[in-house]
Amino acid sequence: MLRNVGALREAVLSEDLGEGRMRCNICQWRCRISEGGVGHCRTIINYGGKLYTTIYGVISSAAADPIEKKPVFHYKPGSLCFSVGTLGCNFRCIFCQNWEIAYADALHGAARSCKLGVEPHLLVRSAKETGSQGVAWTYNEPSIWLNYTLDCAKLCKQEGLYTVYVTNGYATPEALDLIGPYLDVYRVDIKSMEDRFYRELIKVPSPKGILEVAERAKSKWQMHIECVTNIVPGWNDSEDNLRQTARWIRDKLGDDTPWHVTRFFPYGKLSDLPPTPLETLNAAVDIGKSEGLKFVYLGNVRTGTGENTYCPKCGNLAVERFGYSVRIVGLNAEGRCSVDNEDLNMHI
């Protein structure tokens, strides 16, 4: 089983259940893993009565991306963010577009196509060489990579780089608390407020724990949070669901939390669905604004203005975006509106 894996490290948040059985408390599956077994994400193994991560320093993809690509619009706009992913995932979304790495089995040779042994100092060096101001763990779920992302995040903070998790939000509160002191941005998917979506399309029981941990990222760790809802026709596009999502963001994370409503494109086992109609996306933006959210953005669609940041008070154009081209046109030195000094929750 241990052929072709990256460097093994004893996994954080392991719990001894006795008689060689262990529990992994990194994500909300809280897998119980017997000796010789492997967790749901296919990256944590029980070897000799201890849990090990098999993806420490294993990089499947790396690119210096604009931070807007995550999408993150209110943190260091226009900066480059060194973005890396590994193998595996704790979700099994039936419409996953990154299935080649998310469903890859780190234990059966997939790591052979990856860069191995990328110790944190090498990652930080690569980020700096590309002119990036920060590092994002993205492409697949970063929390299952907690040993590595934690070590990297600590080093990033020492080296003056910002840090970003692009996450499905299924980490446990304990995992969040481990990395909390070193994580600046929490870009979390809020796919739906309804159990049906999570249960039937993702195979997890409910969004409840995801919402609780996102709230904790804000209240306990004061992370900068941006939410994404990819609107899937017939699944999470009802007015009621979108309104509930907007209300939850407003009430639990704050009305200045950016909400990105993005266009779904048919993929995988949802190939028979149409792309999200533009009218639905525009309706979602209207719903978000009518519920009091100050910054609602359109994603995966070029409309000309749907990605711009406007001052919610005076309407001044603060940041102009088209695709990944960004022009800061109406911010003052503190990141506030240059006309009326309104706080735009913008970290520059």
Shortest Å distance, C-beta 306 to ligand SF4: 35
Q: Binding mask 312-341 vs ligand SF4 (x if CB under 6 A, - otherwise)?
A: ------------------------------
Which residue's beta carbon is nearest to the bound ligand SF4? 39
Name residues whose C-beta falls within 8 Å of residue 208's C-beta, 6 or more positions apart in sequence.
none
Among residues 24 and 281, whose Cβ is nearest to ligand SF4?
Answer: 24
Residues 206-265 that bind ligand SF4 (CB under 6 A): none
Cβ proximity of 129 and 156 under 8 Å: no
Task: Give the one residue of 12, 22, 44, 127 binding ligand SF4; rule: CB under 6 A.
Answer: 44
Q: Which of 40, 54, 41 is nearest to 11 (CA)?
A: 54
Residue owning tokens 């849990």: 51
Contact between 40 and ligand SF4 (CB under 6 A)?
yes
The first and second tokens of residue 131, run together, are 């002119």
Q: Could you give the CA distance from residue 335 to residue 319 in angstroms, rounded to a whole number?
A: 10
Q: Which of residues 127-166 bind ligand SF4 (CB under 6 A)?
A: 144
Of the residues 9, 21, 30, 289, which one makes contact with ligand SF4 according to CB under 6 A = 30
d(CA 283, CA 28): 33
Task: Single out the segment in contact with ligand SF4 by CB under 6 A; choices: 25-33, 117-125, 212-220, 277-285.
Answer: 25-33
In 3D, which of 90, 86, 140, 82 has the Cα closest to residue 116? 86
**Count of residues for the chain?**
348
DSSP output for 295-308: -EEEESS--SSTT-
- Smallest gap from residue 3 Cβ to ligand SF4 (A): 20
| Nearest residue (CB) to ligand SF4, 205 versus 292 | 205
Among 46, 90, 168, 241, binds ligand SF4 (CB under 6 A): 90
- Which residue in 5, 12, 22, 31 binds ligand SF4 (CB under 6 A)? 31
Structure tokens at 43: 């990256």
Nearer to ligand SF4, 148 or 295 (CB): 148
